Structure 1
Amino acid sequence: MYESFYGLNKKPFQITTDPSFLWMGKKHREALSTLKYGVMDNKGFLLLTGDVGTGKTTLINRLVEDIQGKAYTAKIPDPGLSKYDFYRMVSRYFKLPIEVRTKSDFLEPFSRFLNDAHEERKSVLLLIDEAQRLKHDLMEEIRLLSNLERQDAKLLNIFFVGQNEFNTILLQPENRALMRRITITYNLDPLDQGETCEYIRHRLKTAGAGYEIFSSAAMQEVFDFSSGFPRQINIICDLAMFFASQVSRRTINRKIVSQCRERISFTVDEPSAEMRNPIRAPEPTSRYRHPQKKRWLTLTPARVVGFVAVLMVLWAGVYLIPDRLSVRAGQWVRKTYQSYLPGAAKSSGTRQPAVDTVNATPVDVAAPVPGASPDHATTPIAAKGPLRTPKRPPDLRFPSGVGELSRPAPAEPSATPPVPPAEPMTPSAGQRPDPADAIDWLLEKRKQESGP
């Protein structure tokens, strides 16, 4: 969009990993030469690490371009695969006409391929990008692939390219066997301020620029924003050239870079004074608990034995305790009950239990009322216990004849003297006689009239 305005052949700050724009600074030249030596000399395992956006992928693309024709290369862009998917991808990139269904389907043809490459005096390089995504089981499979070797030479070079987190993964105890096989390592650091300016000039010159598009102050502002990471440099420089072309500025100054920086920076609002020290509600004292289902206890032999033992102890305490101890225990319980619960031992307050001295039956006796006679206070009202059975009445036998009526009944032995019978009384006029006296008077009168 802005190439014609600045007279460029193509965009200089594309994010794609184009090897033609690779700026070979001191760090990159050292890294490239070290890795190229490890591949061509068959050193086995190699490792390149660096932070995000430091140019690792661009560097390995340049390495593949330099060793082309001298080695067979295969690049795995994403190693987050299963074991058999990894084998299928390796076979496809090395152009092996095999169908991988088992591990033996892959190992035998791949071993023949490595030996044939050694006979051709070519190296075999397996590049694994984003190595920090490797799982432990796949790392073990990759380590075992390095066992395909000869006594005098390594047949396979495995090149790990990953972020700095991969170093921590290798230091784990389960990965120590793989870590000890790595022969060459290199860490790619960000650019400093001087290297950042050279990097911007190199990419502009490669794209066909004939003059200094970025001023020194603008490049200083670019470094402050990117901290020397090539990816961030490409992002802000591309945006600055676009905005400058819109306002017809052929030279980019600090102000334009600052405006672009504001558009791609993440802003975080600071919390207000009220939110810095918020007043929190008190923590609930009780927490919710999920209702638990009641489960019946399963009968196990231990529980059955314990239940039987408890029953035996209770039986022994009830039936084997001496009587005197049970009486004492009952008295102690009654005294304790009356001591600690005195109100429960009495009635409602106006009635008290009385005891019949004859049959020892408790009778409810009314409490004495002020000003009443003593007889009134002892009048029984209601019996709490069972009613007494009344005594059987004496047998009454009526006389069969008149002679028997005149005969006195045998006196019962008694401590008191007998009472003489009462004289029959003649009823007075106007007075109704007693039936029993009338019968006696009538019989006596008939006896006198009949004579001796």
Structure 2
Amino acid sequence: MYCSHFNLKKKPFQLSADNSFLWLGNTHARALDLLKTGIDEAQRLMVLSGDIGTGKTTLIHELCHCLPQTTAVAHITDPSIERHYLFLSIAQGLGFDGLYGEGEKFAPVLWAFLKRQSQAQKKCLIIIDEAHLIPEQFLALLSSWAKFAPENTLTLILAGQLELHQVMEKTLGLSWQKQVGVHAMLSPLEERQTRDYINRRLELAGATHRIFMPDAVREVHRYTKGIPRRINIACDQAMIAAYTKDMQTVDAQIFQEAVGILKLPQVPAVVSPPVPVPQAQPTDPKPRRPKKILAILAAAVLLIVIAYSFYPRILSVPDQISLPPNKTPALQKGMVIVPTTPPPQAPPLEPGQAPQVPAEKTAAEYDRTPDMDEFIKEVFIMDKADSMARALDPFPRPSTHKAPASETPAVPPASRNQDPEPAYDPTQDPSAQPDPDAAIDWLIRKKSR
């Protein structure tokens, strides 16, 4: 839009590689001569490296325009694509794509084609642009092609950024420089070269007067560090700024304003930083939520443990019996159960007779103490002595306590005036035959005093 304002035929500063605006400084001219000489001498592997925007692609395009028609060129702009498409692009560039199909091995087809080119005294050139992105396997494959290709037939050029050196060292080893026949490196322009570069492009675009003042050229070099791509971007913005102000020249002030516009996308928007919220702040419920959950889980586990511990005891106590708060001798007397002999088997049931159900245990039986165990032990000893005495007595007296109701003989009731049977006392008559039941009752009364 500013071409008519400055009386220009076409836009002088553009990003696309246009060889009509080619300007070769000392570094670029020397690199181009090295590559041309390497192709003429049939060098097998050549490297062109430089920082981004230094003009590698422009130099490659100029090299391709200078080659004779007898040289077949395959230019790969993106080596990171799938290997099959890499091989297909090479086959199409060199002219034997009709011989290579998908799924076939590429090396035998390439060898056959190179052999025919060697017999016809023709050369093949494979250029890999952006070679710093090349996969390691493909780079190793290219190195093998360069070694075993027919003599004076195949030349490989790897053009990439400075990272290409590390990639080749990693893949080919420390001796990769010995495998490279030509190594050309592009460097940024100096301030004088920057001025010549700007003036040459404006001249080729049709400028009739000086547009960039010396102070503006110094600002351009300081801002762009001599990188040709950056020079194109900065000068294009400066000419737009001069056009908006209706000025025919670009000075340092205009350039600084244009550079300020370019820097805007690079500077992040001013946004106030968020206020850091401490994790232990009581007003924020999110940090405390995990603690609450852990506390709830711990309480639930505790309740489960308590319920599991007391639940069997609760089930074992009958609901209709309430345990007394204190243990008394009377309670101990009622809960004494002395297992002397195996329980007698129940007699066979007669027709219509209901089976006898054993009495349930009292609640006191679940509360045993050491004193009670000692008492039961003593009773067990007395009962054992009674059993031995019964065995020696030829005329044992039947026990009224253990005999069933149906087998008890009929005894006339005692008279009311008759004195009751004296209680058993072992100190009165030691020679008398002891009654086991009376001995047990006497022992219980003695313990309860």
Match of 2:268 in 1: 268
Tell me the TM-score normalised to structure 2 length: 0.62
Q: Distance in 2 between matches of 1:357 and 1:97?
A: 114
Q: Distance in 2 between matches of 1:31 and 1:360?
A: 117
Match of 2:144 in 1: 144
Amino acid at match of 1:68: P
Distance change in 2, residues 1:391/1:176 (3 Å): same
**Pair 1:396-2:376 in alignment:** no
What percentage of aligned pairs have identical amino acids?
Answer: 27
Secondary structure (helix, strand or coil) at the match of 2:142 reads: helix
Counterpart among 193, 198, 203 of residue 191 in structure 2: 193
**Pair 1:384-2:364 in alignment:** yes
User: How far is 1:92 from its partner?
Assistant: 0.9
User: How far is 1:176 from its partner?
Assistant: 6.2
Amino acid at match of 2:125: L
Amino acid at match of 1:390: H
User: How far is 1:127 from its partner?
Assistant: 0.5
Given that 1:213 and 1:252 are in contact with CA atoms closer than 8 Å, whether structure 2 keeps it comes out as yes
Show structure 2 runs of 5+ residues with no match.
281-285, 292-322, 339-361, 367-398, 413-427, 430-449
Match of 1:57 in 2: 57
Distance change in 2, residues 1:15/1:385 (3 Å): closer
**Pair 1:238-2:218 in alignment:** no
Distance change in 2, residues 1:361/1:63 (3 Å): same
Secondary structure (helix, strand or coil) at the match of 1:34 reads: helix
Given that 2:47 and 2:158 are in contact with CA atoms closer than 8 Å, whether structure 1 keeps it comes out as yes
Given that 2:72 and 2:93 are in contact with CA atoms closer than 8 Å, whether structure 1 keeps it comes out as no
Tell me the TM-score normalised to structure 1 length: 0.61
Given that 2:79 and 2:86 are in contact with CA atoms closer than 8 Å, whether structure 1 keeps it comes out as yes
Counterpart among 137, 156, 167 of residue 158 in structure 1: 156
Match of 1:213 in 2: 211
Secondary structure (helix, strand or coil) at the match of 1:159 reads: strand
Given that 1:355 and 1:361 are in contact with CA atoms closer than 8 Å, whether structure 2 keeps it comes out as no
Amino acid at match of 1:168: Q
Match of 2:302 in 1: none
Secondary structure (helix, strand or coil) at the match of 2:204 reads: helix
Distance change in 2, residues 1:384/1:106 (3 Å): closer
Match of 1:5 in 2: 5
Match of 1:351 in 2: 327
Secondary structure (helix, strand or coil) at the match of 1:80 reads: coil
Amino acid at match of 1:235: I
Q: Distance in 1 between matches of 2:331 and 2:97?
A: 117
After superposition, what is the alpha-carbon deviation per residue over 1:215-234, rounded to whole angstroms, capped at 9, x for unaligned?
A: 11111222222121111111
User: How far is 1:187 from its partner?
Assistant: 2.2
User: How far is 1:81 from its partner?
Assistant: 2.4
Given that 1:88 and 1:99 are in contact with CA atoms closer than 8 Å, whether structure 2 keeps it comes out as no
Given that 2:146 and 2:154 are in contact with CA atoms closer than 8 Å, whether structure 1 keeps it comes out as yes
Aligned residues: 321
Q: Distance in 1 between matches of 2:247 and 2:334?
A: 133
Distance change in 2, residues 1:352/1:176 (3 Å): farther
Given that 1:87 and 1:106 are in contact with CA atoms closer than 8 Å, whether structure 2 keeps it comes out as yes
Show structure 1 runs of 5+ residues with no match.
289-346, 363-381, 399-414, 417-452
User: How far is 1:146 from its partner?
Assistant: 2.0
Distance change in 2, residues 1:215/1:397 (3 Å): closer
After superposition, what is the alpha-carbon deviation per residue over 1:93-134, rounded to whole angstroms, capped at 9, x for unaligned?
A: 122252423676644453344344444544321111111221
User: How far is 1:51 from its partner?
Assistant: 1.5
| Backbone CA RMSD of aligned residues | 3.8
Distance change in 2, residues 1:383/1:137 (3 Å): closer
User: How far is 1:194 from its partner?
Assistant: 2.1
Distance change in 2, residues 1:207/1:361 (3 Å): same
